[in-house]
Amino acid sequence: MRSQTLLLASFFTACSTQSVPLGSDSAPPSACESKPCDAGVSAVDATALSDAAVTPDFAVQEWGTYTSVVASDGHTLPGVHHVDEALPAWVHRRNLNGAPGYFMDSLPEEPRQQLETPVLYFWSKEKRDVEVTVNFPDGLIGEWYPEAKSYLPAIGGVSALAAGSMTWKVNLDPQWSSSKYQSVSKDEIWAPSRNVKSTPVVNGSESEQFIFYRGLGKFIAPISVKIDGNDVLSIHNDSDDAVAEVFVLRFTGEGGDVISGGSVGARQSISVNAPAPSKTADSYVATARNSLRNALQKTGLNLDVAQSMVDTWTRSWFHNTGLRVLYVAPRAWTDKWLPTTVSPTPDVFLRTLVGRVEVLNAAEEKDAVTKVRAFVSSPAAQDIAQAHTFIRTLGRFAEPRISRVIEQTTDPAELAAAKSLLTIAHSAD
């Protein structure tokens, strides 16, 4: 199977013929500072491919990311359901009433992980009917495209973030034209994922370059991240599977840097100094993009597939301010969290998930306490509109930040006010 994987990766890399895109690593454009890069893959000489190359008749590759927020002591904070990257309106979602900020019809439990943008690519030499079932034992799928054949639980039947499942029945059509896809702007988060030379997926009137899904989970990853007062991170792998590569990134808005911590063996720990923002924004982003793309390719993903993932997440991973850890999850974790079947069985099925951990250090926690304390003691706290405005100043992860404030607050009145603010943050867009 490993030899098939390497052969498949080399074949599809050689077959890529797209030109160097805007947002390529040689010259990150200023436009990427505020929106996703519309990027494909570097040009490759197609004549390098031998006519005698043998490739699988049917292959599948998947990439995705999941996001959590941890306190300085390493425990995972709740409330990560707030969306960073809005999807096109035509993407299917469980939330049918259109409430802002949600893609679930209800949240009976606080999510600890946001499963973001897993996509499944297919390669088939001929038309082929395919059935795909993704199970999510510790979570629910909330957004997807194209339309699914079935899913669980039923709309309105959610009692826990558990027992999620979705099945698609689609046709793979090598002759299908991408002109039939739903129109998206090159600046939309959806666009980079299309820059892969895979076989189009067709489901009735809906078609796309891939199957997409996104959801919320309550699982806790075996990777724990703590940070001490000297900005030294301790990263521990509490599993029997080695983590191939870990990166620590920091971005201030003005500059940043990325450090590779290397691998983390089974039941092992590493210590990494949090990087100083020593590079310019453009230099930092270029370095980070190259580093992550190379790590993704090492898992066996085709060059254009790895590049599409990096391009999709450039804004969220690299341009958002803060300190974060990115790591390549072992395949065994992916299969446990998202057991997936493809029928007929593909010759090759590669799955690569990247874990993203947003890290709050002690200084950020203290700053959040100060800000929340000042707000809840002010007259503005009595005004819902001003409360929403204040919450937005805390960023996408406002709810985990407020949860951490509550953990560190002892004054009864202040605690009650912070809990009220958390309730507002929970339903905020």
Q: 186 CB contacts (<8 Å, ≥6 apart)? A: 38
Instruction: Provide the angle, in degrees to the nearest 10, between the axes of the packed helices 362-376 and 412-426.
Output: 100
Q: In the chain, helix, strand, coil percent, each to 5?
A: 30, 30, 40
Position 40 scores a pLDDT of 32
Position 310 scores a pLDDT of 98
3-state secondary structure of 249: strand
Per-residue pLDDT of the chain (429 residues; tens, 9 = 90+): 433 443 333 333 333 333 223 233 433 333 333 333 333 333 222 222 222 334 689 999 999 999 999 999 999 999 998 887 789 989 999 986 655 556 788 888 899 999 998 999 999 999 999 999 999 999 999 999 999 999 999 988 899 999 999 999 999 999 999 999 999 999 899 999 999 999 999 999 999 999 999 999 999 999 999 999 999 999 999 999 999 999 999 999 999 999 999 999 999 999 999 999 999 999 999 999 999 999 999 999 999 999 999 999 999 999 999 999 999 999 999 999 999 999 999 999 999 999 999 999 999 999 999 999 999 889 988 899 999 999 999 988 999 999 999 999 998 988 998 999 999 888 776
The 8 Å CB, 24+ separation contacts for 285-289 are: 285/28, 285/32, 285/256, 285/314, 285/318, 285/319, 286/25, 286/26, 286/28, 287/257, 287/258, 288/247, 288/249, 288/256, 288/258, 288/317, 288/318, 289/25, 289/28, 289/314, 289/318
| Cα end-to-end distance, the chain, whole Å | 45
Q: Are 321 and 285 in contact (CB under 8 A)?
A: no
Position 100 scores a pLDDT of 52
| Residue 200 CB neighbour total at 10 angstroms | 22
What pTM value is reported for the model? 0.86
The number of angstroms, rounded, from the C-alpha of 395 to the middle of its chain's C-alpha atoms is 17
Position 97 scores a pLDDT of 61
Token look-up 């599409």 returns 308
Position 103 scores a pLDDT of 76
Position 6 scores a pLDDT of 37
Structure tokens at 12: 């599809």
Position 98 scores a pLDDT of 58
3-state secondary structure of 193: helix
Position 382 scores a pLDDT of 87
